Structures are given as C-alpha cells and as structure tokens.
Structure 1
Amino acid sequence: MLTNPRSDRVKAVRALSRRSVRARTGDFLAEGPQAVREAVAFRPDLVRDVYVTPEAAQRHADIVEDARSADLWVNEVTPEVLAAMCDTESPQGIAAVCRAVDRPLTDVLGDLPSDALVCVLTNVRDPGNAGTVIRGADAAGADAVIVSDASVDIYNSKVVRSTVGSLWHLPISVGATVPEILAALRSRGVRLLAADGAGTTLLHDADLSGAHAWVMGNEAWGLPVEVRQECDDVVRVPIHGHAESLNLAMAATICLYASAEVRRTSR
C-alpha cells in the first residue's frame, strides 16, 4: 500500500494536473468511479495504473476485479495519498492514470459512416461545457467529436469528470485549427451546420439528412462571421419562452438529438 503523500510517485501523478506535464507525458488522471469504470471497460489498453483506497476497493469491487482481469496495475493507497494525487476537494476513493484517447483528424474522419453525425467544438473554453457536450454527443450516438486547438484541453480534470466516462466511448480528435477541420470535413462530403443564435434557419426546418457536422462556437460570443460563412447553413434553436439564450452544452445536445432522430427514422 502506498502511504507516503510526498513520495515521487504521488508527485508524478499530481503533476498531471498541469497541462504542460500532460502534453509532455501523454498521460492524464481520471478521477472517480464512473470515469475509471468506463476507462477499464472500454479502453483498458489506455489505462496505466489504478489507485484505490481500501474502503473504495470494497465499495467498487467490480471495478477492481475488472481492472485486475485486464492485467492492470491496481495500487491500494491511503485516503491521504489519493487526496494528494487528485485536484478535487473530496476524491471519491479511486483514480486512474490513463494515456491520451485522441486520434489524428485524418484517422477519425476516415472511419466515418456515410450518414455521419459529427460535433465540432471551435472555441469552447469552459471545461464543464466541453465535457457535457462530449457526453451529449455520446448519448446521441455521434460518430466523432472534433475539438479545435483554440478550445479547452479535454484532459483537464474538470472536462474528464464532466464527460462521466463518455471520453472513452467515441472517437475524438484534438489540436487542428478551425479552418483545417472545416476543410477536412467538407472534403469528405460532410455538410457543415453552424449552430448559432444569428441563424435564420430554425432547427425544425434544417436539413439534417446525410452526413453532417454541428459546428459549435464560444460560450460568450458564438461563432465568428467567417466561420458561419464557411458553413452550409446557420441554424438556431428557437426560444419559445423568455430565456435570453441556451447554455452551449444544452444547445449542442438538442441539435445532436434532432440529428439522431432523423438518422434513426431514415435507416
């Protein structure tokens, strides 16, 4: 059992809270039972180590058993050690060091089906929003999420927690510029739908057939004019009540589910 919160291993895990360290090592920390469960179940090949307190090992015996069945290193630690590793105020007793899940843009786009549904995050800066959009894309059955270089790091601990495990469920690409992303999608016959409050097309009137990508903008200022002009249509979710606008993650999920329903009825 690891008992020293100041050991080199604990410091190395804690250092993954810094983006520079994550970029250098290619590793990140997944905290909490849901994140670890999904990582072990869906991508055990990307899990380096699992750290768990004795109490959590009993409470989440299924996760520990699955991790050991996958020949993963399961290390028992004291609550003090886990607290020193994690950046949450109240760690939930289990965490895992994982390798990055993202794939090159060309690889992700090369695997798309003919009726692909893609979500593009152009300048999303809020970790909670980014993680929730990834979760919503997963729930709607999207084929990929593409995150631009101007968006938040998807391995930020708040992003990872907000995905609630969806980070390991669908292809994700990061790091390309917005022009590169849009050009690559268009070259593969994927129509580009800008989701923006400035849109003249209402969601229920939009053409959601065939392969298309929802292009989502920044939480505060939406999509720049030049990005909207590069898209095939600019679509807005109608507001029927008195709310000024919808949260980015909420709007993205509504758009993705609208597309998923059209795809479901056309297959």
Structure 2
Amino acid sequence: MADEILTNPRAERVKAVRALSGQSVRKRAGRFVVEGPQAVREAVLVGDVHDVYVTAATAQRYPEIVDAARDRGIRVHTGTAEVLDAMSPDAQHVVAVASLTSHALADLVGPRLVAVLANVRDPGNAGTVIRAADAAGADAALLTAESVDVHNPKVVRSTAGSLFHLPVITGADLADAVASLRSAGLTVLAADGAGEHDLDDLLDVAGNAPEGVPDLARPTAWLFGNEAWGLRDEDRALADAVVRVPIRGRAESLNLATAATVCLYASARAQR
C-alpha cells in the first residue's frame, strides 16, 4: 500500500536517501541508492530492496516497477518531483534503496569466465565493465580493494541493472584473488596493449591452442588495470599470459571498458 505523498524536499527521509551517495553513510547504514528506471526495475525483481520512490507521473510511466515492487512486499512511496530531485537529480524520478550486496570468491562454483578489475577508479568504467561481463555471460566480476566502491551511485547507474544479475566481489587483494582463481582451474590473462599475444590470433586457435599459447576456450579470468596507467608490473606478472587487443586503425588505444568488452566477448565466443 502506498504511503502518503512526500512533499517536503528537506524532510529527514529525503535527506537520508540523498546521504547514501556518500560511502561512509552507505557503510554505516548497510544500504545504497539505486537510480533510474532500468536499474530500479532490475533491483525490484531480484535485489534486496527496502523502498522505492516515484512520482505520480513515473508510477504511471513504469507500472511494471511499481507492480513488481508491491508483489515482493517492497514499500512504494510517491513524492513530488522536487522530492525525487532532492533524493537524486540523476534518477529520472525513480529511486530505490537496497541492502549492500556482498559476495565471496569462494562462493563461485565452476566459474568459466571472470572479469577482474585492478585499481579501476572511474565509476563509469567500472560499471560498464560489470555490464559487459553480464552481457558476455561471465560468472562474476571482481574489484580489488584499490578500485572504486561498487555501490557508488555512478557505478550502480552505469551497470544498468547488471549489478543485480551476477556476483560482484569487492575488496579483494589481487594476488590472493589470482591464486584462488587459478586454483579453481582458470587461466589468468592480463589485458595490456604491449601483450605478447594477439587476441585475434588466440581466437584463431581457440580449442586447439599449441603448447605455451593461452587457450581462450578454457575457463579464463581476465585482468584489467587502471584507466590511466594500466596494470602495474607486479600485477601483470601475476597473470599466466599478457594479451593485447589488436588496433587495426589509427587509434592510439582503446579505453578500459571497450577493451574489456572485446576480451570478454572473445572468451565467450571461444567457450561456446
């Protein structure tokens, strides 16, 4: 049942939702904010959501969100446009509050494709890689402790709902994560523009790779580095092999999210 209409943009409830944009507040509350119709739609279907906030207009525009929330016993609150804007100016008047997600590498059973983000700081890039991992059918995404907080509103928004589709493991030590992935039977490949192996060449021999050449048809964890400086030498050295995405034209390089998408889809194709 809907609550009374929220009309005061300075109300404590509104301030509490807005405050979840801060990492320290999220940790104390154990909750984070989900912004926009696409992300909220996925959150109410499979996430641990406490509240949904809409305007009368967005409730009519996205009835499936309201219906799904109510079917799962999630509280739906209607507010004015000013109230929703005060909660989040980027949410298109659709906001949800959910419990922080938590996954462990040990919980993965028989993973075949994992995206590992080391020192990835840009929220948009991190969210886009998680979305690409989801689209490519990856079993998980993993962010090291030095990477951006996965519950940062910009990360959540950039995943377009994929944060709720696959396990996203956070706070990992890279060396420990690589060791765990390798012990689970995954080949660890580092994506780097100076890699000794060409991704297209690896696709050509996938499933029948000669000795000493990574086989993309095998279970694989892809290691992606920082947007500005890539992978540190010591991080790159953790991988079984270093792979470059070929540049056919005159572009100097690919950005992180684009390169990650190409690599993940190459593995997904080879594993089919």
TM-score tier (shorter):
over 0.9
My pick for the range that moved more, 233-242 or 62-71, is 62-71
By percentage of residues, which structure has more helix? Answer: 1
Deviation per residue, 1:215-243 (Å, 9 max, x gap): 00001111111111111100000001000
Say whether residues 1:52 and 2:50 are aligned partners.
no
- Partner-residue secondary structure (3-state), 1:230: coil
Match of 1:112 among 104, 110, 113: 110
Alpha-carbon distance in 2 for matches of 1:242, 1:204: 18
Report the CA distance between 1:121 and its aligned residue.
Answer: 0.3
Q: Is the 8 A contact 2:197 2:244 kept in 1?
A: yes
- Which position in structure 2 is the counterpart of 1:127? 123
Structure 1: unaligned runs, 5 residues or longer? none
Equivalent residues, number? 256
Alpha-carbon distance in 1 for matches of 2:253, 2:13: 46
- Which position in structure 2 is the counterpart of 1:146? 142
Alpha-carbon distance in 2 for matches of 1:23, 1:183: 28
Match of 1:18 among 16, 22, 30: 22
- Partner-residue secondary structure (3-state), 2:172: coil
- Which position in structure 1 is the counterpart of 2:230? 222
- Which position in structure 1 is the counterpart of 2:66? 64
Alpha-carbon distance in 2 for matches of 1:17, 1:187: 37
Match of 2:221 among 208, 213, 225: 213
My pick for the range that moved more, 180-189 or 147-156, is 180-189
Alpha-carbon distance in 2 for matches of 1:261, 1:68: 39
Say whether residues 1:74 and 2:70 are aligned partners.
no
Q: Is the 8 A contact 1:17 1:87 kept in 2?
A: no
Instruction: Give structure 1 regions of 4+ aligned residues with deviation exceeding 6 angstroms.
Output: none
- Which position in structure 2 is the counterpart of 1:262? 270
Alpha-carbon distance in 2 for matches of 1:26, 1:234: 38
Alpha-carbon distance in 2 for matches of 1:73, 1:53: 14
Letter paired with 2:27? A
Report the CA distance between 1:104 and its aligned residue.
Answer: 2.0
- Partner-residue secondary structure (3-state), 1:159: helix
Alpha-carbon distance in 2 for matches of 1:112, 1:125: 29
Alpha-carbon distance in 2 for matches of 1:247, 1:201: 19
Letter paired with 2:259? A
Letter paired with 1:155? H
Say whether residues 1:100 and 2:128 are aligned partners.
no
Deviation per residue, 1:91-135 (Å, 9 max, x gap): 31211001122312222x3x234xx10000011111110011011
Output the TM-score relative to the length of structure 1: 0.93
- Which position in structure 2 is the counterpart of 1:191? 187
Alpha-carbon distance in 1 for matches of 2:168, 2:132: 13
Report the CA distance between 1:186 and its aligned residue.
Answer: 1.6
Letter paired with 2:114? V
- Partner-residue secondary structure (3-state), 1:174: strand
Structure 2: unaligned runs, 5 residues or longer? 203-214
Question: Identity of aligned pairs, percent?
Answer: 59
Say whether residues 1:2 and 2:10 are aligned partners.
no
Alpha-carbon distance in 2 for matches of 1:177, 1:231: 14
Letter paired with 1:230? L
Match of 2:160 among 159, 164, 183: 164
Report the CA distance between 1:22 and its aligned residue.
Answer: 0.9
Alpha-carbon distance in 1 for matches of 2:161, 2:43: 7
Report the CA distance between 1:58 and its aligned residue.
Answer: 0.5
My pick for the range that moved more, 244-253 or 206-215, is 206-215
Alpha-carbon distance in 1 for matches of 2:27, 2:250: 43
Alpha-carbon distance in 2 for matches of 1:226, 1:93: 45
- Partner-residue secondary structure (3-state), 1:175: strand
- Superposed CA RMSD in Å reads 1.1
Letter paired with 1:246? L
Output the TM-score relative to the length of structure 2: 0.91
- Partner-residue secondary structure (3-state), 1:150: coil
Report the CA distance between 1:87 and its aligned residue.
Answer: 4.7
- Which position in structure 1 is the counterpart of 2:260? 252
Alpha-carbon distance in 1 for matches of 2:200, 2:250: 19
